[in-house]
Amino acid sequence: MTRQLFLFIYIVVFVFMGMPAVFAADWPWYMGPESDGVSAEDNLISIFPAEGPAESWTVAVGVGYGGPAVRDGEVYLLDREEEARDVLRCLDLDTGKEKWRYSYDAPGSTGHSGSRTTPTVDEKQVYSVGLLGDLLCVDRSSQEVVWQRNLLKEYDVALPDWGVSQAPFLYEDRIIVAPQSPKAFVAAYDKNTGEVIWETPGEGGLGYSSPRVVSLCGQDQVVMISASENKDKGRVEGFSVEDGSLLWSWAGWQCQIPIPWVTPLPDNRLFITGGYKAGSVMIQLEKEGDKYAVKELWRLDMNSCGSQIHPPLVYRDHLYVASNSNEKELGLMCVDYDGKVLWKTRDDRSQPRFERGGFILAGKMMIALDGKKGSLHLVDPLPFGYKERSQAQVLDGNRMWAPLALSDGRLLLRTQDIMKCLDLRPASE
């Protein structure tokens, strides 16, 4: 293959993906490089040593649930101090030493207050959404604000009971967020200037889910879930990523407080799950001409499957769902694409429940944290039953619900007062 042909293929692949190129070791935004909780890294330890995984470093953090993002050996965390300020911190991945920080006044509190969301990091800039709706773009080199907006003030939105909780989505030249206001349900901004590219109205109440760009019926689109203020008020909607026009809207699934975003599957399917008695549903999009139709394929009620916080992982035509919520704790479960629950850890008292801890997939191995006990588990994702390779006690605390991040063999996880880096690289011979 000639060098010119190689470069052409490389460029085409990343244009098709609609995202800036990232290194395999990066975890540059919520749910990782492909926004699916999956890392390509497969050269990790598969069994913990007797003393547990090696700890590279531990740093103190403020109260909250915001997860880290990693790019070019730098860890980015949106922290919060004393209900008065949001603090964007940049740490060195190898040492945990703070390289720089940018803080701004954001006085106020909410239920379960503290940090909320994972920053989004591209080659030059980092984007974050604070508890009180501050959307920031900060230059990674100068540590200066490039642009700043406030989603609550600009769109006349009252502070939600649990604050603003969403991850900004990077797509080509734009940052996409969801003000969830009658004026602008979803909005896209120029990533370099903060100027509005488009705003789109929408229906439904204010929730805590994030917009996600997926490809359905050959078209990239923003899919967003709204809360159901009333019995039939919630919507799952798809918008054109180019101009924000509404492509389709479906009111067949209702969740009072939606948190996980949609999970795309082959054949134009979307898996949607939530807590608060919502359960889970699989839908399929069909397109004839320029019109979309939504077909429900199956659903599972709250007693069968429903994740309150984290989206599921997808591996070899199966969904792995942390089906835990206020109403029902079923543990980790495996669901096939036809809606059959193949197993769940609640059925065996010796197996962990995982509560609301984060989990990711690295190569062929699942890494899952018990959000109540602080134990870390290495699991083989298999359809015929729960199979654990190893476990270790790594954290102490409560409400350890933040998403995990993996970069260059280092796993980042946090409690309500510390963030820890564990080295999962195999020992050098």
Kindly list the structural domains of the chain, giving each domain's residue range(s) and its CATH number in brackets, ordered by start: 3-423 (2.140.10.10)
Query: Phi-psi bin for 52: left (phi > 0), alpha (psi -120 to 50), beta?
Result: left
Question: Which residue in the block uniquely carries the two structure tokens 């809360």?
Answer: 227
- pLDDT attached to residue 203: 75
Query: From CA 123, how far away is CA 263, in angstroms rounded?
Result: 26
Give the CB-side neighbour count of residue 175, counting CA atoms within 13 A.
28
User: The pTM is what?
Assistant: 0.93
Q: Distance between CA atoms of 63 and 23, rounded to whole angstroms?
A: 30
Q: Determine the pLDDT at residue 205.
A: 86
CB 282 within 8 A of CB 270: yes
Residues 20-35 pLDDT 10s: 444 558 999 999 999 9
What is the sign, positive or negative, of the torsion defined by CA atoms of 48, 51, 56, 61? positive
> What pLDDT, on the 0 to 100 scale, is given for residue 154?
96
Average pLDDT, the chain: 93
Q: How many angstroms separate the CA atoms of 354 and 30, rounded?
A: 20
pLDDT value of position 23: 52
User: Which two tokens mark 336?
Assistant: 């096939």
Amino acid at 339: G
- Convert the pLDDT of each residue in 292-345 to its tens digit: 999 999 999 999 999 999 999 999 999 999 999 999 999 999 999 999 999 999
Residues 6+ apart with CB under 8 A from 16: none
Q: Which of 315, 264, 310, 355 has the alpha carbon at shortest distance from 42?
A: 315
- Contact residues for 102 (Cβ-Cβ < 8 A; gap 6+): 87, 88, 136, 138, 143, 144, 145
pLDDT tens figures, 130-152:
999 999 999 999 999 999 999 99
